[in-house]
Amino acid sequence: MIRTATPADVPVIHQMIRELADYEKALHEARATPEQLHEALFGERPAAYAHLAETADGEVAGFALWFLNFSTWRGVHGIYLEDLYVRPALRGGGHGKALLAELARICVERGYERLEWSVLNWNAPSIAFYESLGARPQDEWTVYRLTDDALHRLGTAA
């Protein structure tokens, strides 16, 4: 049901990223190209990793795209889950849980002490799903982000 992505999977991963962005009401922000994904996942220095969930007949049901982070407090790596997506028609079949379980397995196997991700505050079905697995929100932290003009201004300041 769960397998590591291969270069041949880049088109379907790209398609699902766009489906996820549409679901999150932010399709206009999804600018990544298949070429960029290929480089990030399979280039000379991969920056991210992906796993796919498949149905019994081999249909791609969803994906998890993740990268390593590092905890200065724990002194070890962790996994940051950038995207978890299961196609709407295939939800409820255990694919999302299986993807998260695979990432948790990798954490345990490698000695990583955290598996983290973000969820939109309005996404009640996902929040309920995550909490059913034992995940807890980190309410004391607020995510900040620099992008576009603000990032450029700061990055080019003298």
How many angstroms separate the CA atoms of 150 and 153, rounded?
5
State the DSSP H helix or E strand holding residue 1, giving kind and residue range, or none if neither: none
From the candidates 49, 85, 112, 130, give the one annotated as an active-site residue: 130
Q: Which amino acid is at 120?
A: L
Helices 34-42 and 10-23, packing angle to 10 deg: 120
State the DSSP H helix or E strand holding residue 112, giving kind and residue range, or none if neither: none
Radius of gyration of the CA atoms of the chain, in A = 16
Q: Which amino acid is at 44?
A: E
The Cβ-side half-sphere exposure at 136, using a 13 Å CA radius, reads 4
Reply yes or no on whether 130 is catalytic: yes
Parallel, antiparallel, or unpaired for β 60-71 and 76-86? antiparallel
Ramachandran angles phi, psi of 76, nearest 5°? -140, 165
Residues noted as catalytic = 130
